[in-house]
């Protein structure tokens, strides 16, 4: 059940779950569910499901992706870090 929060600041934030804290079977299940939700490839070449799962697992191992648990929806997701493209002329 999803709860309604009058003030979004009252909503509990998602919790990062270290991939090393999951069993091998649980980690694989999370990766497979993520790949299945990602939709259809429209690229030039089809990438097999197993290859996609291995890619996600490697991204987790390298710290390029992280697992989050949302306590409100009681769901798990994987967030993939994407490099931020700098625009010409941007100064930090």
| Residue 19 neighbours by CB under 8 Å, 6+ apart | 27, 60, 61, 66, 67
- Give the residue extent of every domain in the chain: 11-80
Beta bridge partners of 79: 66
pLDDT of amino acid 1: 46
pTM to 2 decimals? 0.74
Pick from 12, 5, 24, 18: which is nearest to 74 by CA?
12
Residues 40-91: pLDDT tens digits? Answer: 566 677 889 999 999 999 999 999 999 999 998 899 999 988 765 555 555 5
Class of domain 11-80: mainly alpha
């Amino acid at each position: 059940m999803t709860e309604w929060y009058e003030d979004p600041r009252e909503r509990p934030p998602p919790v990062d779950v270290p991939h090393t804290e999951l069993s091998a079977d649980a980690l694989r299940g999370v990766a497979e569910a993520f790949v299945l939700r990602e939709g259809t490839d429209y690229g030039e070449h089809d990438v097999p499901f197993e290859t996609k799962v291995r890619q996600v697992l490697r991204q987790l191992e390298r710290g390029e992706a992280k697992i989050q648990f949302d306590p409100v929806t009681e769901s798990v997701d994987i967030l993939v870090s994407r490099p931020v493209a700098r625009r010409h002329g941007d100064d930090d």
